[in-house]
């Protein structure tokens, strides 16, 4: 049996996604915290850069195999452990699930990533303006996802039906981040309902930032 090790940071949205997926799959793993702020960021160390040249979390090690990028990691887990499915249903439904996940991982998350905010600081944006930047792009992106859900008409208690999928693995961490930075979520009622439901589920609770060994 393989041994899974997840290099993670408690408040990283990308790490949070993978923790949810691992828990939904019922997989046991060792969490190895990588602090993104301590000593200039432990992810910038030579040892970590050798593991992931992008110097980002998460990284999943499966015995000798090293994987990066949260969605690639989750799809790897999906292929090895197809039940319960995070990409269920016919191809059209799976494409919809992927679209929702990518709307978070590609359109929203990169603009509020720590390295982006640190760069904005380096070119003179103060805390208030960086917060405004993050709030704008997160709120804008979530409103688009709200519209996508309404157009598809396939949401239940989760993004697609009543069972968590890859879309929920991505959405929940982004909603957590949106709350943390003070976004106005009044225009995304469906997302708020999905978020509230998912937070009642044990795999999501165990993946939550506050439940992690490195939580501050």
Quick: pLDDT tens for 101-133: 999 999 999 998 888 999 999 999 999 999 999
Helices 166-180 & 91-102 angle (0-180, nearest 10): 20
Inter-residue contact 5 to 32 (CB < 8 Å): yes
Q: By percentage, how much of the chain surpasses pLDDT 90?
A: 88
pLDDT for 216: 85
Residue pair 13/71 in contact by the 8 Å Cβ criterion: no
Condensed to tens digits (0 to 9), the pLDDT of residues 41-69 reads 889 888 889 998 999 999 999 999 999 99
With H, G, I as helix, E, B as strand and everything else as coil, classify residue 85.
coil
pLDDT of residue 2: 63
Pairing of strands 59-62, 65-68: antiparallel
- Omega into 174 within 30° of 0, i.e. cis? no
Rounded to an integer, what distance in angstroms lies between the CA atom of residue 210 and that of residue 6? 17
CB 87 within 8 A of CB 78: yes
pTM (2 d.p.): 0.95
Strands 65-68 and 30-33: unpaired
Angle at 215 between CA 39 and CA 72, to 5 degrees: 85
Angle formed at CA 101 by CA 96 and CA 104, multiple of 5 degrees: 130
């Amino acid at each position: 049996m393989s041994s899974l090790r997840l290099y993670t940071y408690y408040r990283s949205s990308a790490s949070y996604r993978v923790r949810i997926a691992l828990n939904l799959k019922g997989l046991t793993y060792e969490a190895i915290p990588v602090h993104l702020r301590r000593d200039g960021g432990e992810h910038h160390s030579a040892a970590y850069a050798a593991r992931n040249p992008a110097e980002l979390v998460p990284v999943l090690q499966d015995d000798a195999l090293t994987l990066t990028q949260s969605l690639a990691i989750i799809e790897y887990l999906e292929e090895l452990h197809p039940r319960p499915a995070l990409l269920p249903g016919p191809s059209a439904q799976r494409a919809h699930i992927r679209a929702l996940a990518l709307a978070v991982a590609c359109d929203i998350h990169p603009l509020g990533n720590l390295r982006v905010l640190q760069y904005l600081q380096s070119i003179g944006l103060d805390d208030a303006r960086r917060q405004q930047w993050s709030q704008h792009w997160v709120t804008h992106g979530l409103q688009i996802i709200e519209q996508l859900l309404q157009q598809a008409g396939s949401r239940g208690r989760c993004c697609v039906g009543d069972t968590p999928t890859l879309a929920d693995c991505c959405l929940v961490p982004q909603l957590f981040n949106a709350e943390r930075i003070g976004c106005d979520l009044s225009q995304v009622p469906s997302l708020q309902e999905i978020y509230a439901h998912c937070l009642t589920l044990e795999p999501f609770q165990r993946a939550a930032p506050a439940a992690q060994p490195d939580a501050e």
